């Protein structure tokens, strides 16, 4: 019988939530790495017991932890994220040049086929790859050549937070950076191009610029990798040509600002977002925590509220804090800055809190285990 | 070869899977750089946790204390007090009080 393992990164450690396929009764373990910020934990699709975690601290810097037994035990592996060559400068918040400096790993994306290959998206924005299980890391520097001097941090930092490995074409990668935009490689990460045509951002000098857009998240369905959904700083966007062009699908959302986004495991046209009031008020509109689901690939959205607080709720749902499982009845999960992790075992119709009082949740990822 | 006592803060000795207090063999003059070289050689997972990998400088929120003095701003190549070099006093690595 299938089991579900939910990997939760928080401001003060990591937690692992386990359930059978019913997803009603949960076993909670942790905190692991108590007191450290865990930006992301991810499991290898090729070996689900191989987990990688990004452990970071303003005091003691970056650690990458690896588990080979599904999170029972962990060991630190390599943390040397050295940019190739002189990385030069990017723009700071005030528009002045600032030297590129490594700060932390935001996102880890294991290869679908090789447990020892894993990608890391870092701040200041760059993409690294390890092919030895995280022991050593090599930058893919061609990405920063895409007008990197014009990139600028979003409020959370200049982070590379989204890494999509195309399941059909292994040479194709898509990444997203706040605030630089989306980029695609079609040659395994050697060369890159901006894929931001159609994005419109009033908060940058040229709203239609080739780079500089604050992309918060991109989601993709493995069966239709050419279709991408994007939660931008403002606007929910869609591309049907692997990012060559984008069009807006915000439709009837109460706000098209937000961070998290996911696509249903079995239906490429079913998309989930969590609208947030605004970039000035990082909480849900009207104090109601609502997931919105479109079954038509955007534009037409329904509020999902059953089991979610509908008054006095002022949490946020961060960009890496929403995920789905692959059971027949698709499970949807998200974590909040208030420390709740919610699950819906029926694709969003009904929700329950798995835990309510964790530290602020930074990331949620899900493994469907045999 | 000097044997230097080093006391790590909680987060670093848990990261290193070690005791809080370590005895480190330090070759040559006992400087901060030499002690940290020995620390990172014995516990590679601490590389980058005390001093910046790129610059070799102390991370901003890490402090070094010895003999009731704050030696955080000593040059990396400056000699530590003789009491540290002889093992009578430990070099204490501390996470700075910051953030409430």
pLDDT at A155: 86
Cβ proximity of A341 and A358 under 8 Å: yes
pLDDT at A342: 98
pLDDT at A188: 98
Q: Does any CB of chain A come closer than 8 Å to the CB of residue B99?
A: yes
Q: Is residue B73 part of a domain?
A: yes
Q: How far apart are CA A178 and CA A195, in angstroms?
A: 14
Decide the pairing of beta strands A224-232 and A215-221.
Answer: antiparallel
Cβ proximity of A118 and A132 under 8 Å: no
pLDDT at A212: 94
pLDDT at A319: 97
Q: What is the CATH number of the domain that holds B47?
A: 3.10.20.30
Tell me the residue range of the domain where B57 lies: 2-95
Q: Which of A177, A120, A130 is nearest to A150 (CA)?
A: A177
pLDDT at A35: 96
Yes or no, beta carbons of B50 and A35 under 8 Å apart: no
Q: How far apart are CA A341 and CA A26, in angstroms?
A: 11
Q: How far apart are CA A212 and CA A204, in angstroms?
A: 7
Which stretches in chain A have pLDDT values below 50?
Answer: none
pLDDT in tens, B34-57: 999 999 999 999 999 999 998 999
Burial class (CB in 10 A: 0-12, 13-18, 19+), A176: buried
pLDDT at A206: 93
pLDDT at A42: 98
Both tokens of B4, joined, read 């230097």
pLDDT band at B100 (very low <50, low <70, confident <90, very high): low
Q: Which CATH number fits domain A47-325: 3.90.1150.180, 1.10.580.10, 3.40.50.300, 2.130.10.10?
A: 2.130.10.10
Q: Which of A163, A189, A141, A156 is nearest to A52 (CA)?
A: A163
Q: What is the mean pLDDT of residues B1-18?
A: 97
Decide the pairing of beta strands A271-276 and B91-95.
Answer: unpaired
pLDDT at B98: 74
Smallest CA–CA distance, residue A87 to chain B, in Å, is: 12
**What is the domain count for chain B?**
1
Q: How many A/B residue pairs have CB atoms within 8 Å?
A: 44
Tell me which DSSP letter residue A358 carries: P
Both tokens of A153, joined, read 């941090």
Yes or no, beta carbons of A60 and B54 under 8 Å apart: no
Tell me which DSSP letter residue A286 carries: G
Yes or no, beta carbons of A62 and B12 under 8 Å apart: no
């Amino acid at each position: 019988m299938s089991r579900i393992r939910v990997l939760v990164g928080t401001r003060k450690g990591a937690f692992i939530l386990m359930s059978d396929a019913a997803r009603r009764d949960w076993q909670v373990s942790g905190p692991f790495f108590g007191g450290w910020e865990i930006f992301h934990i991810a499991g290898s699709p090729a070996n689900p017991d191989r987990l990688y975690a990004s452990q970071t601290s303003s005091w003691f810097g970056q650690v990458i932890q690896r588990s080979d037994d599904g999170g029972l035990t962990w060991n630190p592996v390599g943390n040397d994220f050295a940019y190739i060559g002189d990385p030069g400068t990017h723009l700071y918040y005030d528009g002045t040049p600032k030297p590129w400096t490594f700060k932390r790993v935001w996102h880890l994306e294991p290869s679908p086929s090789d447990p020892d290959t894993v990608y890391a998206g870092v701040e200041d924005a760059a993409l690294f790859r390890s092919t030895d299980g995280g022991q050593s890391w090599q930058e893919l520097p061609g990405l920063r050549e895409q007008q990197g001097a014009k990139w600028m941090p979003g409020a959370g930092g200049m982070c590379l937070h989204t890494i999509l490995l195309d399941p059909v074409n292994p040479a194709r990668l898509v990444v997203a950076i706040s605030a630089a935009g989306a980029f695609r490689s079609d040659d395994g990460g050697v060369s890159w191009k901006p894929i931001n045509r159609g994005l419109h951002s009033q908060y940058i000098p040229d709203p239609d610029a080739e780079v500089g857009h604050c992309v918060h998240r991109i989601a993709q369905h493995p069966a239709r990798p050419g279709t991408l959904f994007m939660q931008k700083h403002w606007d929910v966007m869609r591309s049907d040509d692997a990012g060559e062009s984008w069009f807006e699908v915000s439709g009837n959302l109460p706000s098209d600002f937000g961070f998290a986004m996911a696509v249903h495991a079995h239906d490429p046209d079913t998309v989930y977002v969590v609208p947030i009031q605004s970039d000035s008020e990082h909480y849900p509109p009207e104090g109601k925590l609502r997931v919105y689901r479109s079954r038509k690939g955007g534009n037409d959205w329904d509020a999902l509220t059953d089991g979610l607080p509908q008054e006095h709720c002022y949490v946020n749902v961060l960009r890496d804090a929403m995920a789905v499982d692959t059971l027949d009845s698709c499970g949807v999960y998200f974590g909040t800055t208030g420390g709740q992790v919610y699950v819906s075992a029926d694709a969003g119709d009904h929700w329950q809190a798995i835990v309510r009082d964790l530290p602020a949740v930074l990331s949620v990822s899900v493994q469907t285990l045999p | 070869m000097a044997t230097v006592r080093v006391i790590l803060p909680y987060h670093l000795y848990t990261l290193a899977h070690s005791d809080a207090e370590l005895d480190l063999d330090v070759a040559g003059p006992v400087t901060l750089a030499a002690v940290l070289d020995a620390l990172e050689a014995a516990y590679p997972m601490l590389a980058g946790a005390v001093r910046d990998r790129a610059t070799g400088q102390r991370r901003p929120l890490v402090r070094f204390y010895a003999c009731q003095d704050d030696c955080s701003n000593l040059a990396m190549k400056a000699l530590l007090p003789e009491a540290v070099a002889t093992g009578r006093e430990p070099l204490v690595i501390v996470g700075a009080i910051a953030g409430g």
